[in-house]
Structure 1
Amino acid sequence: MAVRDYHNILVIHLMHLGDLMLGTPVLAALRQQYPAARITLLADKKLADVVAANEHLDECLLIDKKGADGGLLGILRYAMRLRKNHYDLVINLHRNERSSALAALSGGRRIVGYAKPGFALAFDHVSPSQNQVMHEVHSHYAALRAAGVLNADGTAGLEMWIPPAAKEEAERLWQAHFAPTDKVIAINIGASWATKRWIDAYFAVVADTYLRRGYHIAVMGGPMDMEMVEKCRARMEEREHPHLHIFTGKVSLGVLAGLLSRCILFITTDSGPMHVGVAMHVPVICMFGSSPIPGFYPYDARSISVRAPVSCHPCRIHECPLAGEEHMMCMKRMPPELILQYADQILREEGERPACELPAPTDFETRVVEMADGHFALAPRGAAGRVVRSSLPQSR
């Protein structure tokens, strides 16, 4: 399909932190395709730090989904505001009711992207649901190529420009907590689903190990993660170590990004902060439970993604239905010794340099640790989309 010329483009992306981060390469691709166009992004107000300073955008509109812009009347009022801008292209990057409705009612001359049934009637091109054997970034590219909006994949990784005030606050906090020679490893314990959370006792072992080796540990996450962090900290033997720094629930997303940009490694669950870390170029090791690695892996080839060889992975459900020893076996069968082994490998590869000193990635496919011949090992390059079935190791 031939690509048309557009001059006033609206991109709608109202989902959660991780999803919004995975939409940032599309903004770069649109800017490359339409260098003279006015490009506007509509996003969730609470995630303003992630996109407000994005250099590919001319404007960032924010919607208060659970406040002034909530409910049916709020959607209708916001749609009327959008109509006044006379967009000639509207792109919806997530298939949910609110964003589908806003796109359908936006008055855009051409409307494309994902849509719920009913609202799809107002779309000129409806994209199929994201392909879970394809990374979400690549699914977006494929959808927009099929809609005649892009003529090629983009070449950018995840991107986030930190707002100036957040950058200043991150610098102040860093100087208050760390010396210039400190080596800081970030960890993120929380995740939106219980089935994405690694075992508390395992996180405790990893944190204790690095603290005893002389590293500093910076614990990240949002306010909803504070209880999880305290439970994990209670399992630590080094819970009162002066090199343990808890930032969970205490900093904005912009400050979180600024702190991560100075860390040498990020050990994390599949979560929104994981994708922020990737955008800051910090090397990531991520433990995957219920979510599929091919769809949501850390978008940087320096990263390592780990999955256990259980037949129910990826289940894509929020609560594990199994009981007894089988409960959360996808996470139980990724022991802390395994994560330490591959975390140490990343530290050797990158020379323990702060993320801000590392070059931007040019290769984006993660490396996968999976089971082969009864042992965990790095899968070959290009295996991020491959499902491997092999014998289970003995339970711990």
Structure 2
Amino acid sequence: MSKILIIGPSWVGDMVMSQTLYMTLKQQNPDALIDVIAPSWCKPILERMPEVHQAIEMPIGHGAFDLFGRREIGKSLRENQYDHAYILPKSAKSALIPWFANIPIRTGWKGEMRYGLLNDLRSNMKSFQFMVERYAALAYSKPDMINSSSLGGLGNLPHPSLLIDEDKQSKTISKFNLDNNGSIIGLCPGAEFGPAKKWPESHYAQVATSMSRAGKKIWLFGSQKDLETCNNIKTQVPKELQSHIHVLAGQTSLIEAVDLLGACDTVVANDSGLMHVAAAVGCSVVAIYGSTSPKYTPPLAKTVEIVHTDIECRPCFKRECPLGHLKCLNDLSPDMVISKII
């Protein structure tokens, strides 16, 4: 029985996409035990992945080097006698724990100077267009890793699929006094990356208004940082329709948001972690792209509509619009999004 340690990514969306690697590893070796180290905010996601044996919380803060702390974690993991480690971040510090844990095979992409820390260093990452391909490719030995076509393309890879706990889902719906009878539209208007990913509040409000008039319930998701945005969207909806609008941003835990997104029919989202969660729980997804591109991290839902403008300055991949006009988002009309909602 193979024992595998994964150093997981730090962002929710990346963590969801990393499930493709775990699925691929289990396809190759169904008896493998896969443990994943992750920051506390991502750990609940791992608990909804049946491929993961154990989610190990990373006590060191994101960005902190803490050599001695990483050494202690690595030494504490030696007794688990892992056979193989996969290091998904590309930083040097992310490769320290498996090295201190004396894991014999340590696989990862070439990134910061980490020669020696990794002894199975892959250098052809750009042969793979999509992030999920880059994760899955690590599961194969070097001779088999040529390009994305050798993996069979995006459609041939297992897509992330998070489990929904129906009992917890029902309790969460009751906890927030929600009604899940009829059609539910989820809106995810936040984006941790920055304002160049955030479709305007007024545009989201027009979507919410149109869907409410069509008799649909609207649930607004996000973190505490998104609460003001979600409240602003609700206040821009006509008062007689506001009873259809439920602001959940900042109220739910991440795992509660996972279960509630699983109750939605369609989710409209910026390019964000919740967009990937919505795809992984089986929703139809309408994905809005501003400064970024679906050619790298598209939502892997069964039913996806991707909307973006075609102005020549996008995608720029900037957190803030370098030209100061945000036309890639402002010029993306609400009607374009409304027409894509199933």
Q: Does 1:110 align with 2:111?
A: no
Q: CA deviation at 1:113?
A: 1.0
Q: Indicate the SS of the match to 2:139.
A: helix
Structure 2: which amino acid aligns with 1:39?
I
2: distance between equivalents of 1:125 and 1:160? 29
Asked if structure 2 preserves the Cα contact closer than 8 Å seen for 1:97 and 1:116, the reply is: yes
Correspondence for 2:89: 94
Q: Does 1:237 align with 2:232?
A: no
- Bigger mean CA deviation after superposition, 9-18 or 151-160: 151-160
Correspondence for 1:71: 66
Q: Does 1:44 align with 2:39?
A: yes
Q: CA deviation at 1:118?
A: 2.7
Which of 78, 97, 100 lines up with 1:83 in the alignment? 78
Asked if structure 1 preserves the Cα contact closer than 8 Å seen for 2:21 and 2:139, the reply is: no
Correspondence for 1:202: 203
Q: Does 1:29 align with 2:24?
A: yes
1: distance between equivalents of 2:127 and 2:237? 36
Correspondence for 1:305: 306
Unaligned runs of 5+ in 2: none
2: distance between equivalents of 1:126 and 1:163? 38
Once superposed, what is the RMSD of the aligned Cα atoms?
2.6
Query: CA deviation digits over 1:179-229, x for unaligned, max 9?
Result: 53x211100000012111001111111111111221110001111211222
- Bigger mean CA deviation after superposition, 266-275 or 140-149: 140-149
Q: 1:223 to 1:115 in 2, by over 3 A?
A: farther
Correspondence for 1:188: 188
Q: Does 1:125 align with 2:120?
A: yes
Asked if structure 1 preserves the Cα contact closer than 8 Å seen for 2:180 and 2:263, the reply is: no
Q: Does 1:160 align with 2:162?
A: yes
Asked if structure 2 preserves the Cα contact closer than 8 Å seen for 1:64 and 1:70, the reply is: no
Q: 1:149 to 1:89 in 2, by over 3 A?
A: farther
- Bigger mean CA deviation after superposition, 90-99 or 140-149: 140-149
Aligned residues: 333
Q: Does 1:11 align with 2:6?
A: yes
Correspondence for 1:140: 135
2: distance between equivalents of 1:124 and 1:97? 13
Q: Does 1:276 align with 2:277?
A: yes
2: distance between equivalents of 1:239 and 1:80? 61
Correspondence for 1:389: none
Q: CA deviation at 1:14?
A: 3.2
TM-score by length of 2: 0.88
Correspondence for 2:174: 172
Asked if structure 2 preserves the Cα contact closer than 8 Å seen for 1:49 and 1:253, the reply is: yes
Query: CA deviation digits over 1:132-174, x for unaligned, max 9?
Result: 9722111222343354799956642112224687435324347
Q: 1:295 to 1:152 in 2, by over 3 A?
A: closer
Q: 1:167 to 1:72 in 2, by over 3 A?
A: farther
Query: CA deviation digits over 1:271-301, x for unaligned, max 9?
Result: 0011111111000001101112111111124
2: distance between equivalents of 1:167 and 1:177? 11
- Bigger mean CA deviation after superposition, 182-191 or 221-230: 221-230
Q: Indicate the SS of the match to 2:14.
A: helix
2: distance between equivalents of 1:239 and 1:312? 40
Q: Indicate the SS of the match to 2:74.
A: helix
Correspondence for 2:329: 331
Asked if structure 2 preserves the Cα contact closer than 8 Å seen for 1:100 and 1:114, the reply is: no
1: distance between equivalents of 2:332 and 2:286? 12
Give runs of aligned pairs for residues 351-370 of structure 1, distance below 5 A: none
Asked if structure 2 preserves the Cα contact closer than 8 Å seen for 1:290 and 1:330, the reply is: yes
Structure 1: which amino acid aligns with 2:31?
A
Structure 1: which amino acid aligns with 2:190?
G
Asked if structure 1 preserves the Cα contact closer than 8 Å seen for 2:188 and 2:221, the reply is: yes
Q: Does 1:257 align with 2:258?
A: yes
2: distance between equivalents of 1:202 and 1:336? 5
Q: 1:258 to 1:32 in 2, by over 3 A?
A: same
2: distance between equivalents of 1:321 and 1:107? 45
Q: 1:253 to 1:241 in 2, by over 3 A?
A: same
Q: Indicate the SS of the match to 1:241.
A: helix
Asked if structure 1 preserves the Cα contact closer than 8 Å seen for 2:222 and 2:249, the reply is: yes
Q: Does 1:216 align with 2:217?
A: yes
Q: CA deviation at 1:269?
A: 0.4
